[in-house]
Amino acid sequence: MSHWRKCLSEMLGTAALLCAVIGSGIMAEQLSGGNAAIALLANTLATVFALYVLIETLGPLSGAHFNPVVSMVLVIRKELPFELFFAYVMCQLMGAALGAWLAHAMFDLDIFQWSSKVRTGPSQWLAEVVATGGLIFVILSSPLGKASWLVASYIGAAYWFTASTSFANPAAAFGRMLSHSFAGISPADVPAFVLAQIVGAILGLWLYELMNSDRQQKP
């Protein structure tokens, strides 16, 4: 398959994912009457459903990464050509921005905006390490044909068991800093989140290889 189709798939998939995350957050905040638990539940369910559908439909085209650290790990494992890595990441970031702007347009909000929602501190950073490490481990461990529902289920659970609500994705952090809404994050807090996500991805890869070292050594 030509590279441009793969890159377009990554851009469209990331855009749709961020549109679902941000759009459902806006809708949830409008309808929940100030109940943060109900808003988070609605945001979680929309994200889970969207992620499952996007992996199922776009996975055969590009692998459905929608996430720079997933692409990074697959480059390390030599499952993604290095020459595609930067193109994938650029398309993922562009898609994240487009998804945020599309969500704003649909809800008649200012399209271009910045979040002021503070998400910082050691507990939040640790949560992103855990969320991203777990995501990478699940992706690499998923049996053939089951990654879509396993990944979607993990992200849905991690929304609730991590203090950061499981961004686990530098592109998601980038898109969400462009939205002053329920799902937003202050731009000043994004670099630490991204660093934590990179650390988590490396730890998730290390854990997977540790747990599967005997299998990998067999002829």
Q: Measured between alpha carbons, how far is 115 from 184 in angstroms, rounded to an integer?
A: 5
Kindly list the domain boundaries of the chain, sorted by start residue: 3-217
Nearest to 138 by CA among 122, 156, 118: 156
Quick one: CA dihedral 165, 61, 178, 101, positive or negative?
negative
Summarised one tens digit per residue, pLDDT across range 109-132 is 999 999 999 999 999 999 999 999
In sequence order, which residues have a C-beta less than 8 Å from that of residue 207 and are 6 or more positions away? 133, 137
0.75 exceeded by pTM: yes
Using CA atoms, how far residue 210 sits from 34, 53, 80, in Å, is 45, 31, 21
Stretch 124-141: mean pLDDT: 98
User: Residue 112 corresponds to which tokens in the numbers above?
Assistant: 């271009």
For residue 217, what pLDDT is reported? 53
Stretch 67-93: mean pLDDT: 97
Find how far residue 199's CA is from the centre of its chain.
Answer: 15
What element of type H or E holds 94?
Answer: helix 82-106
Q: Which CATH fold topology does 3-217 show?
A: Glycerol uptake facilitator protein (1.20.1080)
User: In the predicted model, is pLDDT for residue 215 greater than 90?
Assistant: no
